[in-house]
Amino acid sequence: MDYRNNNQQAWNHLADNGSLFARVATDEECRQPLRTLDGRGWLPASVAGLNVLCLASGGGWQAILYACAGANVTVVDLSESMLKLDNQEAKRRGLKIQTVHTSMDDLSMLGDESFDIVHQPVSTCYVPSLKPVYAEVSRVVRDHGIYISQHKQPVSLQISHRNERHQFVIGVEYYQEGPLPKQQDTSYREKGATEYLHRMEEIVGGLCVSGFVIEDLREPKRADYNVEVSHFGYRGRFVPPYVRMKARRVARKTSDSTQESAGFKIWIPGSPGL
């Protein structure tokens, strides 16, 4: 079974069985949607009227919050059960959203340059290659549009188990090809899903060569100093599970051979050098 079929089934099962990731936005979160979505101040002061693509983010959280903030929301997901939560929640709250059932590496039904913001929670681990995902996002986002994405860090996916001293053992090779093997340590892995390790050069470098400049990069801290060793917060003291980036689409067309971005002149290949 290929990664799409397998992950569709796995996520349908997770959604139907109350996964933490299938938790819909609460009334309190909906009262302050932008603050809930954006602890870092990466979003504009208002998203009202903007076209937002919530990519691989079914489950009734991101899409509902953006819609509460007045955005025109399209949510893409591979799992019908996750999308059902978005539709149910939108109906219950009297919001209008569009749901699209597809894989993040095939957005062919979405038009070029049609979104101001693309927001993608942790999900690139479910596809074998990041290249087509970044290419599709680069195509559908407008010039100067924002792409916020979060990814599993490769080092976290390399942990195979703990030894008798509760030390974390790297048992998966960095240059692992193909689906990740099953491991004893199942923290930050979803049951039944087919997952892939993407190296930092693919996650960060791949974004830079797909038409984006990175404006900020964070490693959400999951360390907890008040928990038992068995808790994932203990693991978080040693290994960062995620990396989150704010990137901006470089303008496609320019009046001359250079363009301004983040205060720097960028050289366009094929044009005279700076």
Ligand X SMILES: C[S@@+](CC[C@H](N)C(=O)[O-])C[C@H]1O[C@@H](n2cnc3c(N)ncnc32)[C@H](O)[C@@H]1O
User: Residue numbers of the site for ligand X (CB under 6 A)?
Assistant: 4, 7, 11, 21, 56-59, 61-62, 76-79, 82, 103-104, 121-123, 126-127
**Of 207 and 250, CB closest to ligand X:** 207
**Of 59 and 145, CB closest to ligand X:** 59
Instruction: Provide φ and ψ at 223, rounded to 5°.
Output: -75, 135
CB of 243 to ligand X, least distance (A): 15
**Identity (one letter) of the amino acid at 2?**
D
CB of 219 to ligand X, least distance (A): 17
CB of 56 to ligand X, least distance (A): 3
CB of 126 to ligand X, least distance (A): 3
d(CA 195, CA 198): 10
Residue 38 region by backbone torsions, left for phi larger than 0, else alpha for psi between -120 and 50, else beta: beta
**Of 152 and 249, CB closest to ligand X:** 152
Sorted by sequence, the CB contacts under 8 Å of residue 8 that are 6+ apart come out as 78, 79, 80
Task: Let me know how long the chain is.
Answer: 274
CB of 15 to ligand X, least distance (A): 7
**Of 9 and 261, CB closest to ligand X:** 9
**Of 186 and 271, CB closest to ligand X:** 186
Full 3-state SS string of 191-228: CCCCCCCCCHHHHHHHHHCCCEEEEEEECCCCCCCCCC
d(CA 117, CA 145): 6
